[in-house]
Structure 1
Amino acid sequence: MAFSQGFTPHPKISYASAAPTGTASEAEYLEVGLQDEVDPTTLRLALDAALSPGLDVIEVVVAQGGSLADRIDASHWRIELPGVEPELARQAVEKFWASSEVLVERLTKQGRRTFDAREAVNRIDVIDQTGAPSEVVGVPCAILDLVIRQVTPSVRPDDVLSGLRVVADLEPPVPSRATRLAQGTLTAQGAIVDPLEADRDGANHR
C-alpha cells in the first residue's frame, strides 16, 4: 500500500461518488495506490478476505491513466416502496416527470438548502415485477427505476422521494429501500458506461 507524504501519512485510497448513508449498492468504485506492481487477482482476493461479510470486491484492474472520478457522472438506482401500489407510484412519477422544476429541502453541513430534484433525474420509471422484492410479503410494493446525474448539490434517492411527495403527496408508509445498481458515464442514449471499461481495454492491448 502506498502512503501520502508528510507528518501524518495516509493510505492512498480515494472513493468515487460513495453511496449515501442508508442506501445499498452493487456498484462502488475506489482507487488504491500501491508501492509495487501487484497481480490484480491476488490483490482482489486479499482485499476481499479482509472485508466484512457482505462487502465483496468483484474486480480489480490496473489503472491506465486518468481519474476514476472523471468517468462517473451518473448512477442507476432501484427504489423499493413497500406499502405503495404501483399504479399510485406511476401517477406520482408522471407528475414529477411533467414538472419543469421540483424544489425540495435538505439539511446540509452549510444548513438547510433548497434545490431542484427534477433537473438531475435523467430517467424515472415504475417497473413491473413478478413476486415481492426484498422479502416484502403480503403488501404491495412499487419499484422505481431511475438514473440520476451528478450535479451540485448532489441529488440523492431520498431527494427524489421528497420530490414525489411535493408534486403528488406520495408518502410511503414504511421506509423505502434504495440500491445503486450501476454508476459511470452517461451516454447520449441514456446508457451508463462502466468506468473500468477503458482500463480493461488498455490491459488487453498491452
Structure 2
Amino acid sequence: MRIRITFTKQGALRYTGHLDLHRLWERAMRRAELPIAYSQGFHPQPKMSLAAALPLGFSSLCEMLDVRLNEEIPVEEIRLRLKDNLPTDIQVTNVESVDERAPALQTQVLSAEYHVQLTEPVDGSDLKRRVEELIQSESLPRERRGKFYDLRPLVEVLTVDTETSTLQMKLTAREGATGRPDEVLTALGIEPEYARVERTRLIFQE
C-alpha cells in the first residue's frame, strides 16, 4: 500500500532539516505501529520520500510525503494513529492512498508558491520598483555552492502588497531547476533573515 500524507511544518520544526524530518516521520510511524516497508540489503531504508526539500527556517502548509506500507490500512485509521505520535508543530491535513505504479512524488513537482512576510520596515514604492525591475530583467546571474546559474527563469510569478509588506512568489521546483525564496529576496536587496517565508502550495504535473 502506498499512501500520501499532506502535512504542515511550523514552529521550531522550521529548523529541522530534510534528513532529520525523514527520521522524525519514521519514528512517528513506528510509534503508531504502522507497518512501514523497507528496502533490502545491509542498510534497509524506509520506503518513504518527501515531495520537495524545504530549506531550513521556512514553514509550510503543504508538505507531502509518500510512504509504502506492508499491509492495507484504512486511511482514516492511519491519520488517527499518526495524530497522537507527531509533534504539535506537524499537523496532518490529508491522508490518501495512491497508485503503487505512479511516478515518484519528487519527480512530479513543477512549482511551489510562497508567502513572504517582511519583518523590517520597507519603503513600499521602492520595494514595488525593485520587484518590477526583477520581473523585467532578462537574466539574474546568481551563485550557489560555487556554481553560477540564472535565477530569472526560475521566478514564475512575483507580486508585492506594499500595505502589508508581503510578497507572493511562484518559483520553479523541478529537479535541477529550483528557485529559492531567499535567493529572490537577496536579488531584491532584502536580507533573508528579515523575512518569514512559508510554503503555501506545491504544484504537480497533471
TM-score clears 0.5: yes
> Where do 1:126-145 residues align within 5 Å?
126-127=160-161, 142-145=165-168
**Distance between the aligned counterparts of 1:173 and 1:162, measured in 2?**
7
State, as a whole percentage, how many aligned pairs show the same letter.
28
**1:103 aligns to 2:147 (yes or no):** no
Following TM superposition, by how much is the alpha carbon of 1:184 offset from its aligned partner in structure 2, in angstroms?
1.7
Q: Secondary structure at the match of 2:90?
A: coil
Q: Give the counterpart of 1:58 among 89, 93, 98.
A: 93
Contact kept in structure 1, 2:186 and 2:192, CA below 8 Å: no
* Aligned length, in residue pairs: 167
Q: Secondary structure at the match of 1:53?
A: coil
| Structure 2 spans left out of the alignment, 5+ residues | 1-35
Contact kept in structure 2, 1:126 and 1:144, CA below 8 Å: yes
**Distance between the aligned counterparts of 2:80 and 2:124, measured in 1?**
41
**1:2 aligns to 2:37 (yes or no):** yes
| Structure 1 spans left out of the alignment, 5+ residues | 130-140, 166-170, 187-192, 194-206
**1:155 aligns to 2:174 (yes or no):** no
Aligned-residue RMSD, C-alpha: 2.0
Following TM superposition, by how much is the alpha carbon of 1:30 offset from its aligned partner in structure 2, in angstroms?
0.8
Contact kept in structure 2, 1:104 and 1:162, CA below 8 Å: no
Following TM superposition, by how much is the alpha carbon of 1:13 offset from its aligned partner in structure 2, in angstroms?
1.0
In terms of fraction of residues, the more strand-rich structure is: 2
Following TM superposition, by how much is the alpha carbon of 1:52 offset from its aligned partner in structure 2, in angstroms?
0.8
Contact kept in structure 2, 1:86 and 1:126, CA below 8 Å: no
The two structures have a TM-score, normalised by structure 2, of 0.74
Following TM superposition, by how much is the alpha carbon of 1:88 offset from its aligned partner in structure 2, in angstroms?
2.3
Shift of the 40–163 alpha-carbon distance from structure 1 to 2, 3 Å rule, reads same
Which residue pairs with 2:199 in the alignment?
Answer: 180
**Distance between the aligned counterparts of 2:139 and 2:133, measured in 1?**
11
Q: Give the counterpart of 1:17 among 52, 58, 64.
A: 52
